[in-house]
Amino acid sequence: MAVKRSARAARSRTPDVRAAAKKYFGFDKLRPGQEEAIRSLLARRDTLVVMPTGSGKSAIYQVAGAMRRGAMLVISPLIALQKDQVDSIAASEAGLEAMVLNSTLSASELESALEQVAAGQFKFVFLAPEQLAKEEVSESLAKAGVKMIVIDEAHCISQWGHDFRPDYLQLGRMIEALGHPVTLALTATASETVRAEIIERLGMRKPRVFVTSFDRPNIRLRVDRFEEEHRKLEAITHQIRWADKPGIVYVGTRKMAEEIMRGLGEEGIRALFYHGGMKAAEREEIQDRFMSGDADVIVATNAFGMGIDKPDIRFVYHYDAPDSLDSYYQEIGRAGRDGERAEAILFYRKEDIGAQAFHTGSGKVDEQQLEQVTNALANRRGKASLDEIAAETQLSPRRLQSIFHKLADAGAVEILASGEVKLVRRVDLEEAAESIAETDQDRQNANRERLERMREYAETSNCRRQLLLNYFGEEFEGPCGNCDNCEASDPEATVDPSLGTRREVVA
């Protein structure tokens, strides 16, 4: 009898996650993986979640935050995405306060906001990783008693990933400085190697790892092969003309983004171009125009897309092959988030892989820059800030951060809680340089291997979905019935001209 009462008592203490999700955010149901991840956080377990783009990763920390006491810190690399999340929380029934700390705030606004954070007036605090380098920000967060930290777009911390950002490398140190609150890492794209590095660099303690299916069955996969560049250019323009819209075209260079956009304009298609060389205000304006429906097509480099949540994108075309299947999967995942049919086409020439291989070979630490940095640190005979070393070496803060962390990985420097750096005593800098060179070479080899998998995807005659999902460690055996290779093997498949390039099975 006592056993039965104990069981009932245990059930009564089990938090009703689904009821909370309904009460606070109006979710009628939770998607696969969400409830398990929320329960992991409520049990105070570090948690890594890998879910496809558009599958509701933000709901995990929103619901968990509403159910737990204490402030939640959300690290997100994009101001637009931060604002969207704050608006989402404000529109909910949770009655919780959220705010953003980012570079758009004036000095007085930042001071006022930090006072409110320190006073515990906000449940959710969103900020970009570069804000953590400011001493006043870290001090206010320490006073706020942060109980949970969320790292969005967590693959950015991995130097083996496709969107590495040096600013993310300071997050592990920051987590420990705050007493290691429960940590949640979220990403849409992470192979086993990337997942391992996320866990290591964030210092996650025996984390629970949730990886849901990578499959997006509503996206049709296809590769069109070409021998000549001008034929490929003609084909993509024709394809876009007849395709359902809106859509995204990814290209490898700024020049090509502008060229394709002009060609589409001549065909009467409302198109915009977007690349990292544009001013921030210009990029924001173009993104807003595309999101609001003021343009049917955006032609962009890989600078466009993170945080984009436009559910009705009907196609993602690649004029140039990406550097990996990691990048390709993340970019095509921006199509068909409404669950309706969408298509992803790679316009492929063998020479494209060679062009990517050239870029893949870059990125190593310059030995002269490494010597500059170590000499600057040695001259100071103690700790130095990033700004001080930047002023002495004339290297950019972003470049310096990367070098600092490579030196730290090699055991040559220590990165302090303040963000300052100091040389480790009696370190052999020559050995450290050799260690960094070996790591760089390993990284280049890994990049070449990933590029080879991209080539394999482009040139395979087997089920493309099987190859793509197997790459991410998911068991799947074709045929999928929704890629060009599987359809080519089906004698019942035909082309319906009214749907452009969509293939229909004749009943």
pLDDT at 48 exceeding the cut of 90: yes
Give the span between the Cα atoms of 506 and 501, in whole angstroms.
15
Residue 236 has phi, psi (to 5 degrees) of -70, -35
Encode pLDDT of 283-329 as tens digits. Answer: 888 988 998 899 999 999 988 877 677 889 999 999 999 988 988 99
- Predicted confidence at residue 406, as pLDDT, reads 82
Which of 478, 449, 475 minimizes the C-alpha distance to 464? Answer: 478
- Predicted confidence at residue 14, as pLDDT, reads 61
Give the span between the Cα atoms of 304 and 138, in whole angstroms.
30
Residue 249: band (very low, low, confident or very high) from pLDDT cuts 50, 70, 90: very high
Range ranked top by mean pLDDT from 97-106, 132-141, 231-240, 441-450: 231-240
* Across 17-21, 27-31, 80-84, least confident range: 80-84
The answer to whether the peptide bond before residue 479 is cis (omega within 30 degrees of 0) is yes
Q: Which residue would you say has higher pLDDT here, 418 or 77?
A: 77
- Predicted confidence at residue 158, as pLDDT, reads 80
What value does the mean pLDDT of the chain take?
Answer: 82
- Predicted confidence at residue 225, as pLDDT, reads 93
Q: Where exactly are the structural domains of the chain? A: 15-211, 219-359+447-505, 367-427
Encode 312-329 in three state secondary structure.
Answer: CCCEEEECCCCCCHHHHH
Residues 261, 301: contact at Cβ < 8 Å? no
- Predicted confidence at residue 41, as pLDDT, reads 93
Residue 8: band (very low, low, confident or very high) from pLDDT cuts 50, 70, 90: very low
Residues 64, 38: contact at Cβ < 8 Å? yes
Encode pLDDT of 186-244 as tens digits. Answer: 988 777 888 898 999 999 999 999 988 888 889 999 999 999 999 999 999 999 999 99
* Across 197-211, 416-430, 456-470, least confident range: 416-430
- Predicted confidence at residue 365, as pLDDT, reads 65
Residues 305, 329: contact at Cβ < 8 Å? no
- Of 3.90.1010.10, 3.40.720.10, 3.40.50.300, 3.90.1150.10, which CATH number belongs to 219-359+447-505? 3.40.50.300
Which of 53, 30, 136 minimizes the C-alpha distance to 335? Answer: 53
Residues 464, 485: contact at Cβ < 8 Å? yes
Residue 364: band (very low, low, confident or very high) from pLDDT cuts 50, 70, 90: low
pTM of the model: 0.78
Q: What is the mean pLDDT of residues 427-448?
A: 80
- Predicted confidence at residue 417, as pLDDT, reads 64
Computed on alpha carbons and rounded to an integer, the radius of gyration of the chain in Å comes to 24
367-427 under CATH 3.30.1050.10, yes or no? no
Q: Which residue would you say has higher pLDDT here, 230 or 353?
A: 230
- 74 bridge partner residues: 126, 150
Residues 27, 5: contact at Cβ < 8 Å? no
Residue 246: band (very low, low, confident or very high) from pLDDT cuts 50, 70, 90: very high
- 274 bridge partner residues: 300
Q: What is the mean pLDDT of residues 445-454?
A: 87
Q: What is the mean pLDDT of residues 45-58?
A: 84
Give the span between the Cα atoms of 257 and 252, in whole angstroms.
8
* Across 1-10, 105-114, 471-480, least confident range: 1-10
* Across 43-52, 214-223, 229-238, 361-370, least confident range: 361-370
Give the span between the Cα atoms of 159 and 166, in whole angstroms.
9
* Across 10-19, 180-189, 318-327, least confident range: 10-19
15-211: CATH topology is Rossmann fold (3.40.50)
Element (H, E) at 50: strand 47-50
Tokens of 205: 């303690």
Percentage of the chain modeled with pLDDT above 70: 88
Would 219-359+447-505 and 367-427 be classified into the same CATH topology? no
Residue 359: band (very low, low, confident or very high) from pLDDT cuts 50, 70, 90: low
Q: Which residue would you say has higher pLDDT here, 401 or 479?
A: 479
Determine the straight-line distance between the first and last CA of the chain, rounded to whole angstroms.
Answer: 61
